[in-house]
Chain A
């Protein structure tokens, strides 16, 4: 099993450009989520999904869209990139959504720079 796969690993965007960060998992997990990690801020939740067709907002959803058309995939779309979106993005999945007592599996991250 590959686990949680994120692509690309690195990306540089110009302000105003749009792009999609891909996330796929092959563990048949119902719950998937996106976080951003900034220095000194820990991980902040952007969006999450408890199953195909169901998404909800986390702490910092502005400027991002998500969709969940299949159990396996949970892409994160940046609509119009801004320098404030420069960050490392992590996708995570777990078999049950919280508060189910299962661990989260993380991808290796996408390092995004917006210039």
Chain B
């Protein structure tokens, strides 16, 4: 079963606006990661946040993690057409499982 669920499933915004995507998960985690997938391509790692961290930044990306609510958000500021892609959260569940479990993804479209 899927560990993470992204919300919304699809998001369409104008270039220059900010985009926020959310991820909820079911079990306690070791860390949470966000990946981007351009159409027809493999996934590319964006950012990793550990379970003891609350916020992390990388360039125009800001990730938050709320372990009490089992949720994370990815904010992309000042969006560009090149940000058009699908975004996935992935979790590493606690308990010794050596697995990276992905959600279903958010399809982001940036309109020029």
Q: In the complex the two chains form, is B98's CB within 8 Å of A98's CB?
A: yes
Counting CB contacts under 8 A, is B30 at the interface?
yes
Counting CB contacts under 8 A, is B78 at the interface?
no
CA distance in complex: A106, B33 (Å) = 14
Interface size class on chain B is: 20 to 34
The residue from A42, A50, A97 contacting B2, defined by CB atoms under 8 A apart: A42
Report B-chain residues with C-beta under 8 Å of the C-beta of A50: 98
Known: A42-B104, A43-B88, A99-B30. A58 touches B41 (CB 8 A): no
Report A-chain residues with C-beta under 8 Å of the C-beta of B105: 42
Report A-chain residues with C-beta under 8 Å of the C-beta of B43: 43, 90, 92, 104, 106
Known: A42-B103, A98-B30. A109 touches B50 (CB 8 A): no
The residue of chain B having its C-beta at the shortest distance from the C-beta of A91 within the complex is: B42
Q: In the complex the two chains form, is A101's CB within 8 Å of B99's CB?
A: no
Report A-chain residues with C-beta under 8 Å of the C-beta of B90: 104
> Chain B: residues with CB nearer than 8 A to chain A?
1-2, 30-31, 33, 35, 40-45, 48, 50, 88, 90, 92, 94, 97-105
> Chain A: residues with CB nearer than 8 A to chain B?
4, 31, 33, 35, 40-45, 48, 50, 56, 58-59, 90, 92, 94, 97-99, 101, 103-109
14 contacts across the A-B interface (CB closer than 8 A): A41-B104, A42-B88, A42-B102, A42-B103, A92-B100, A98-B92, A98-B98, A99-B92, A101-B30, A103-B45, A104-B35, A105-B45, A106-B44, A109-B42
